A = this chain, B = another copy of it.
Amino acid sequence: MRQSSFLCIATVGTLTATLTIIALFALVIINLQALTGRWSEDVQVRAYLEKPVRNAQADQLRKRLGSIDGVDEVEFVSREKAYSRMRQRLENADLLDGLSPEVLPVSFDISLASELRSREGVLELLPRIKAVLPNADLRYGQQWLERFESFVQMIYAAATVLGGFLLFATLFIVSNTIRLTLYARKDELEIMALVGATPFFIKAPFLLEGAAQGALGGGLSLGTVYLLYQAFFREGLGSLLFSIGGYEIHFLPASHQLAILGAGVLLGLFGSLSSLRKFVKIG
């Protein structure tokens, strides 16, 4: 099949390009997910008490809070602890000169079960905490949390639409390309049928070819993404992102790599199959 090397290159090239887009996209989304997942671990509720409590009472409250469904850990912050924390946070300790621990409120730091570490989770939990501490002032970094969350959500929503369209477009482009390559060989397909080949006999080699091209395209796209990852994401971004807290950008996990390869094979196979149906007609 000498003359068809161009056709073969065209199919593999298109498969590679489209799968690379998908894979790059997945790479970005997976890392965003991991990063935001990590950050959301910081989400916690701080409950400022109306008035100071004794240690025994605090312990009792702590236990009750701890037994709430969705609460992970509870820490009691006494006045002394609050003072020393503030001291730690303020660079210039002189500021605290006029301040004695007595003026600071006591509080509970309530960390959440992982599935509740989001704005919604917090809102779900608040009434339960309120039930235990009816007069406490509950704070959870509203503004930033809300913004951050809506930001993440906007990105996910965009990613869903974009990703969905990307998958659809990939499917379309690849099957289109394969159809074009078969169109260029349609005389040959017709001749095969005319000299007595069954549809299966005609299609089998093209299907095999399609699957092989798909696998090749998938492999090449993984290679391309890996190179881009090495060149741009890992090093370049690592130095750009000053405070992602030791987060290292990952490459696609093995399961996703397999999925890309599998997608390549399926695209090649079904792209060929659907087009062959159009061009292989007997009698």
Q: Which of B17, B35, B137, B146 contacts A172 (CB 8 A)?
A: B17
Interface of A is mostly: helix
Q: Which residues of B contact A92 (CB under 8 A)?
A: 48, 50, 135-137
Instruction: Select the stretch in A68-76, A212-220, A229-237 that faces chain B.
Output: A229-237
| Size range of the chain A interface in the assembly | 35 or more
A-B pairs, top 4 by smallest CB distance, nearest first, are A180-B180, A17-B169, A146-B243, A92-B137
Question: Could you name 10 residue pairs across A and B whose Cβ atoms are closer than 8 Å?
Answer: A7-B180, A17-B169, A17-B172, A17-B173, A24-B162, A94-B135, A148-B151, A150-B242, A157-B232, A177-B180
Using CB atoms and an 8 Å cutoff, list the residues of chain A in contact with chain B: 6-7, 10, 13-14, 17-18, 20-21, 24-25, 28, 31-32, 35-36, 39, 48, 50-51, 90-92, 94-95, 98-99, 102-103, 105, 135-137, 141, 144, 146-148, 150-151, 153-155, 157-158, 161-162, 165-166, 169, 172-173, 176-177, 179-181, 183-184, 228, 232-233, 236-237, 240-244
